[in-house]
Amino acid sequence: MARLALVLAACLAAGAARAADDPYPWIAAAYLVKRDGALLWAGQPHARLPPASLAKLMTALLALERGNLDQRVTVGKGVLKATGTRIGLKPGERLSARDLLAATVVRSANDACRALADHLGPGFTEKMNRRAAALGMPDTHFNDPCGHDREGQYSSAADLAVLAEQVMRHDEYLRLAKTQRISIKTLDGRAFTLRNTNALLGRYPGAIGLKTGHTPGAGNCLVALAERDGVRVLAVLLNAPNRWWNAVGLLDRAFAAAR
């Protein structure tokens, strides 16, 4: 990964550090990079694209804002409809909302996400959309709390950066996002050991998270957050075939520009 990062960094440098609207269209269908909240570079930042599991950022935010994460949750039958990444929850099992959040953030588990969304009440996607509107996310509409491809579901790199910055205010989310491995268990004692889906953790110095995503419709998506010497860099990539290599190059360039 280090050698690939050097190659990508060289390619990026060849583009010269011009304005914040200087796009590198080969990186992703849409992307955005911010350093300490200030926009550095972006390509198609307002393009409306499927967000995949980056939608879970909003589900997590609503859970965190609701609080009471130690509340016991009984898993409903909705988990049987979950596809993609799952941990194998069964209807009737009981877990804390905190553990469902952990499985949603760390493992991006769709059954845990579904159970958490069901716990947070009926009409949950409407709640997601109201919160998106309140945050000023005009290019976002949710139709699924876990990020499955759904007609009419979309977001943008710019909107997801706004959402990520809101989620970053919660220490519990940051703790989970940077956890490489975590164990949770049902109240009846069934245990799960979960490995984080973020390949940057433990490999890229300063990596904190923040969320990964993939569906056939969305391609590879990533919200990457890293911090070095008090400088934080946030990168959002939508439909990025080589998201890990490209994220490393963008993060490296952003940190280098801060010196």
Ramachandran category for residue 250: left, alpha or beta (phi over 0 → left; psi -120 to 50 → alpha): alpha
Query: Considering only CA atoms, which of 69, 111, 109, 74 is closest in space to residue 89?
Result: 111
Distance CA 57, CA 225 (A): 13
Q: Hey, what long-range contacts does 134-138 have (CB within 8 A, 24 or more apart)?
A: 135/162, 135/163, 135/166, 136/162, 137/162, 137/163
Residues 58 and 163: beta-carbon distance below 8 Å: yes
Q: What tokens appear for 150 in the block?
A: 């759904």
Q: CA-CA distance, 165 to 84, in Å (whole number)?
A: 27
Catalytic amino acids?
A: 53, 56, 108
73: which residues sit within 8 A by CB, 6+ positions away? 94, 95, 96, 97, 100, 115, 116, 119
Closest CA to 35 of 54, 20, 55, 14: 20
